[in-house]
Structure 1
């Protein structure tokens, strides 16, 4: 029985490849079987076995002494023995009254060794191969594992890698399997070409796809690796790009990648047909469901007559109409867009037909390919579950949500028939990608006058968007400069208590050494605090956020305080010692940005109200707002416009006036060209000025972003021209020596260099003030992090 158990365990571990590979050998052996059409034997003799027990082999033969058997029974016995995966050869012959079963056992793998590999670790290669210690060896599995290792190297961009498998004979029928690997050089993408494009240039289309041409930083960015799946995804990206810009007849005729073995570089080529560009003409809704008045659904239509044809707008309209109708009790309603082209006028009229769809239910949701991400992280993005009515629109919405998680390279959702005619099985296939990020950046601030100080600062962060496969967000960051140190830790659970409520917290500690206009260190500040926050989605684009904030600040006299005349306002604030703030805040965030890393279209707006006074020393109400509007100005040259507006106001309540430290300070997000806290109210102290901040600010900015000429787009470099305007005014502190409290506008113009670097988005700004006050502190250069919302 023990031998039989060992055999069954070995059978269950054999891969399908081995079973298929031996089928040819089975056919050969069957030809050698010579048995009477109906015969019996008195004994069964097993020969050639070394490890597998003879009784175990006899049990697999299935023929008993004294039992009548035929050639068909012998053929089945041979197949069963081969099917165990333990034998390289099997033959069954009859000799007199004896049935002779001759087997040639496979060797048993002792170790699997990898030699010559540096770019892929042994543990990762071991997961890619089928041969494992204590399992049967076969040449077919060896060849399959060679191919699997080559495929692993292709996935990291080393198509020239060679793999040779061999065995080392050991005693007792054991072998070591050795894979000799020559990794070769990285296979690069030399060029990406487009054939048939007229509306958009090659440069613009290369920016749409994820495959990039190789450059000297590609070894960090890893976006120049050719992959068939990525090529298919790039085809889909091109389709969506054209479909959303009026080209309803767009087709990808072919895509190919040709490898030049001489220089080990691919040439990737897309052949496309753009077709005509269309606009929407008449748009209407037609309902065949009794009780659904089409005229009441007009508000859910996103497509407008005269607009460029957009597949995304049609999808949004279908989702909106489906939700509206389902909310009225029609779970199986089906919305179908029917378009009619007017080729002469290049327009498309659309009728959204609402009909009763087939009654189908979801039997189960099957998820495949998620080696790291937990099943529930994927399932919770569906608004439907097992047993619910099948709704294709809600399935597509789930796919969009899964894509937006940025956990997967690809997401495909298909359906297969269920166990009953009215049931379907949803199959979700995902390909995971790395979700960890390491970002490092640097900044430099310098001034154009003797009253402004500057210096380098560095910052780094480690972020994991899918912590332990649970979909949780964790970020640890540190930054430091000549006069500052910042440390933060953030955690977010996107589905708190199983609901679509984001809950998280932030912990921070900041230190600052603050100088006056003469560069004298007048005070130091240490702040430690935490925030607990909750985010509740109202719509797909609108989110509400509530938070409780607590911080403790300590102010001490600076190294130059004793020998410097310091303003009365700052002396009073420092004299208050430890300052505690306890506040609650509420925010509304509206976000329709198409790409948070490289925005081209959409709005990101944030309106926040914060009230301090629930305990602690601070007692005030603060209102802030900021909105960024991105709009594509020219698709052909990839010219993007950005308009930013914002403002804030703080008002104290209670018996004590606001501290100067609670007021707003100017910074580069408010206006460039001026030093941090370099404009607004100030108090004259001797020959220097101490800037106090203000109670009110407004700012606006206009910017045009464009790709840098000559530099390949795969390098991620863009340029920008901008104009800023801002005012910071008002103060609760009154003194004859206080100035700058009136509403005076400042303005600046400048140019920027924006780089989507492997270390994170970086930006260099040069700004020149064109409207300023004599008391302002100027700063021309700024170097730091780019896209911030």
Structure 2
């Protein structure tokens, strides 16, 4: 196209200009004493550091940015690294060092040639796209205030053209002009834009396709026809990729010789009289060929890794239909096997022979192993706030080690999970000798201090407002400091926390949390309705203070272990508006009720609340964790496995065991599956009976854990099946049941589809869960008993599908580091084990009625809305 020719001319012109600037810069360095053997200065004390060539920057600014200071010893390797560090700021076109002896020491002279600064970027001729849109398009490449780098100008031009093409202006082109101001050392860049007419793809036609329909092939392409569901945008680079996708679609189904022979573009005016918009018709001519099959798959030249070891991961199988994706996966897999062992200079050459008569594709992988590569040096650049030693904590490969691609990939994941950086680029370049490689790490820092606040509604805690101040990288040393507060209908909390993730720069975590809490605990018993007709439930309040000290240790690649010391000083209360009466507390768990012995009256003598004494509970927790998720907020691959044992002493006396696991599996480039499982059990601490377990009983939040259920229906489900519940007594002697438990199993599976990567996504899900009261049959009435049975859940119950509640549905996930919102539409159902056959046991819950959604969907449909719930 014409704009490509014009851009080639522009690119050539700027290469000539860049060469001229480089020659001019070289002249500034002609007087450097590069011919000297600076080894004679090795070990001498650096007396003074001077600067030559500064224009816009001051000498002090340059010296302060130079890692080596006066008083240190002259060491060539450190000086080379310091030069690189200064150059990586991109403020200088050239940086060099001149050295001279002085008084048994040495004087360093930093010789610099500063880059011009971009004073302004102007756009001329843009009518369809605003200045803001164009600035956004080139912002990742250059912006006002950046050093001017000629090589980036063409990238910016291409970004603008691509932006126009995405909007349908296929013939747009840009002619840039750079205006230099030598006095102020800055440049003004003019982007002269010729937009052309809007062009949209009106039709994509395939020719020669007999095995797959045109619609099937169109679905493989990102280029779409203009219509209701697509805007018909055309991008030349994306279309080239589309041709590859179509050929790959054939090749994955055995058509080894399939190809796109020709493409014809036809432009026509949408309205020949107005001539302001054009349609593009694309004709794609295909040769399909015959189906081919895999023949022999072999290996030669491999001595370090055996053929058997390679073969076990090969997806291509003799006799199977040829599949291009399998072929490339095998090819990449062999390379990865060697790269992970340090053989990055290996060569894997697939030698393909085709038997045309029998349509057989034989592949022999010719492997040249070469020697191992080693890391010579690791350089860090781009960090202005975060200290180098903080970044180095997450780099678990050191100079001298074997080059390991898996470890290097893990470095990037670990740094992203700190949430310190917006972008992390890992580069590799040859070192000073054959077999040595230099690893370069260039980071772009993001905002680590967050001030947030808001309000909303949670099905678990009603209406609430919250505020938080958090710094995840305090003083650039990776320290975490936070202050948060929450005020809601049933929850109030203020907390301050501090953490040093790497104590003494060792893999040791130290964290301290201090908080005051006031929490209303819903018993689930309905005691009336408010003025709006919304049900009111019986509550009790627990309020007090909590102090936590956490000590952790990181080891291996993904493992960590923690021990936590937790002290809770709390008091129970039940107020007159929470269900209590002057005669006594009402409809609360027996473990709580027996402590509510102090009646508190108002000033006029009328009843106000019942309350307990203050109680102290000590908790020692031990946990072991393996976490390989690529993102802790929105993981698309990796796993999480954690086992926790909580030992309670004092007012509450028991042991609480929990095992949780999570797995994310990428399905495609965009889609991913997520699986979560949780297993919990309360037992007695050896030698001690269980005491006062109400504070730590498991609770299956039906709004969030099994989405779409509500508390009343869950309790009905348990009663109908004879499953044990936790009974509560009223002052009149009557009882009501509530579904707490001393054992818990919960599971979910999700298909996640991103809308805005890492922030907003669509999800479909399947949930299952249940609670048990081991040691009980039928309803479990604890009464005023002080101790309770200690027994594990019956294993056969875990595998009985009729004991679980289930839901399926769809929803939206909004994930921001300190603000998560989930909105779901869910269908409740149960399993009847008396039915047999696939799907026959699944049916509507017998206690369901038609919900408001039922008018459209049927029985058992509900809405679940949650905020700040810790879904993975």
Task: Bin the TM-score by the shorter chain.
Answer: 0.5 to 0.7
Asked if 2 retains the 8 angstrom alpha-carbon contact of 1:278 and 1:309, the reply is no
2: CA distance, partners of 1:189 / 1:774: 58
Alignment TM-score, normalising by the size of structure 2: 0.52
2: CA distance, partners of 1:443 / 1:399: 39
Asked if 2 retains the 8 angstrom alpha-carbon contact of 1:681 and 1:730, the reply is no
2: CA distance, partners of 1:181 / 1:321: 47
* Deviation of 1:557 (Å): 0.6
Match of 2:618 among 566, 581, 594: 581
2: CA distance, partners of 1:195 / 1:662: 65
Q: Which residue of 2 aligns with 1:82?
A: none
Shift in alpha-carbon separation, 1:20–1:755, aligned structure 2, 3 A = same
- Is residue 539 of structure 2 the alignment partner of residue 521 of structure 1? yes
Q: Which residue of 2 aligns with 1:80?
A: none
Asked if 1 retains the 8 angstrom alpha-carbon contact of 2:539 and 2:574, the reply is yes
* Deviation of 1:482 (Å): 2.1
2: CA distance, partners of 1:192 / 1:502: 61
2: CA distance, partners of 1:536 / 1:252: 53
Shift in alpha-carbon separation, 1:395–1:535, aligned structure 2, 3 A = same
Match of 1:505 among 511, 536, 541: 511
Instruction: Give the secondary-structure state (helix, strand or coil) at the position aligned to 2:741.
Output: coil
Q: Which residue of 1 aligns with 2:863?
A: 781
- Is residue 368 of structure 2 the alignment partner of residue 309 of structure 1? no
Q: Which residue of 2 aligns with 1:554?
A: 570
Shift in alpha-carbon separation, 1:263–1:525, aligned structure 2, 3 A = farther
Asked if 2 retains the 8 angstrom alpha-carbon contact of 1:114 and 1:179, the reply is yes
- Is residue 438 of structure 2 the alignment partner of residue 426 of structure 1? yes
Alignment TM-score, normalising by the size of structure 1: 0.56
1: CA distance, partners of 2:594 / 2:678: 31
* Deviation of 1:315 (Å): 5.0
2: CA distance, partners of 1:199 / 1:443: 45
Q: Which residue of 1 aligns with 2:72?
A: none
Match of 1:455 among 437, 459, 462: 462
Match of 1:766 among 825, 844, 849: 825
* Deviation of 1:701 (Å): 3.8
2: CA distance, partners of 1:194 / 1:374: 54
Shift in alpha-carbon separation, 1:242–1:503, aligned structure 2, 3 A = farther
Shift in alpha-carbon separation, 1:253–1:23, aligned structure 2, 3 A = farther
Asked if 1 retains the 8 angstrom alpha-carbon contact of 2:346 and 2:368, the reply is yes
* Deviation of 1:695 (Å): 0.8
Tell me, which stretches of 5 or more residues in structure 2 are unaligned? 1-15, 25-54, 56-92, 94-115, 124-130, 137-141, 193-197, 207-211, 224-228, 263-274, 527-536, 597-611, 716-723, 831-844, 850-859
Match of 1:411 among 406, 422, 425: 425
* Deviation of 1:569 (Å): 2.0
For residues 139-154 of structure 1, the aligned pairs below 5 Å read none
Match of 1:650 among 641, 657, 682: 682
Asked if 2 retains the 8 angstrom alpha-carbon contact of 1:414 and 1:426, the reply is yes
Asked if 2 retains the 8 angstrom alpha-carbon contact of 1:527 and 1:552, the reply is yes
* Deviation of 1:726 (Å): 2.7
Asked if 1 retains the 8 angstrom alpha-carbon contact of 2:824 and 2:865, the reply is yes
Shift in alpha-carbon separation, 1:114–1:781, aligned structure 2, 3 A = same
Instruction: Give the secondary-structure state (helix, strand or coil) at the position aligned to 1:558.
Output: strand
Asked if 2 retains the 8 angstrom alpha-carbon contact of 1:675 and 1:779, the reply is no
Asked if 1 retains the 8 angstrom alpha-carbon contact of 2:424 and 2:443, the reply is yes
Asked if 1 retains the 8 angstrom alpha-carbon contact of 2:570 and 2:615, the reply is yes
Q: Which residue of 1 aligns with 2:728?
A: 684
**RCO higher in 1 or 2 (8 Å CA, sep ≥ 6)?**
1
Shift in alpha-carbon separation, 1:318–1:238, aligned structure 2, 3 A = same
2: CA distance, partners of 1:469 / 1:251: 54
Q: Which residue of 2 aligns with 1:398?
A: 408
Asked if 2 retains the 8 angstrom alpha-carbon contact of 1:665 and 1:694, the reply is yes
Match of 2:552 among 530, 534, 543: 534
Asked if 2 retains the 8 angstrom alpha-carbon contact of 1:441 and 1:784, the reply is no
Instruction: Give the secondary-structure state (helix, strand or coil) at the position aligned to 1:674.
Output: coil
Shift in alpha-carbon separation, 1:524–1:161, aligned structure 2, 3 A = farther
How many equivalent pairs are there? 632
- C-alpha distance after superposition, 1:481-522 (max 9, x if no partner): 3212456677777766666x4735363644311233121332
- C-alpha distance after superposition, 1:80-111 (max 9, x if no partner): xxxxx9xxxxxxxxxxxxxxxxxxxxxxx9x9
Shift in alpha-carbon separation, 1:507–1:249, aligned structure 2, 3 A = farther
- C-alpha distance after superposition, 1:105-136 (max 9, x if no partner): xxxx9x98999999999xx97742579xxxxx
Shift in alpha-carbon separation, 1:589–1:177, aligned structure 2, 3 A = closer
2: CA distance, partners of 1:302 / 1:387: 32
Instruction: Give the secondary-structure state (helix, strand or coil) at the position aligned to 1:585.
Output: strand
Q: Which residue of 2 aligns with 1:720?
A: 764
Q: Which residue of 2 aligns with 1:572?
A: 594
1: CA distance, partners of 2:180 / 2:367: 66
2: CA distance, partners of 1:762 / 1:673: 16
- C-alpha distance after superposition, 1:148-175 (max 9, x if no partner): 999999999999999999999xxxx999
Q: Which residue of 2 aligns with 1:357?
A: 370
* Deviation of 1:296 (Å): 7.7
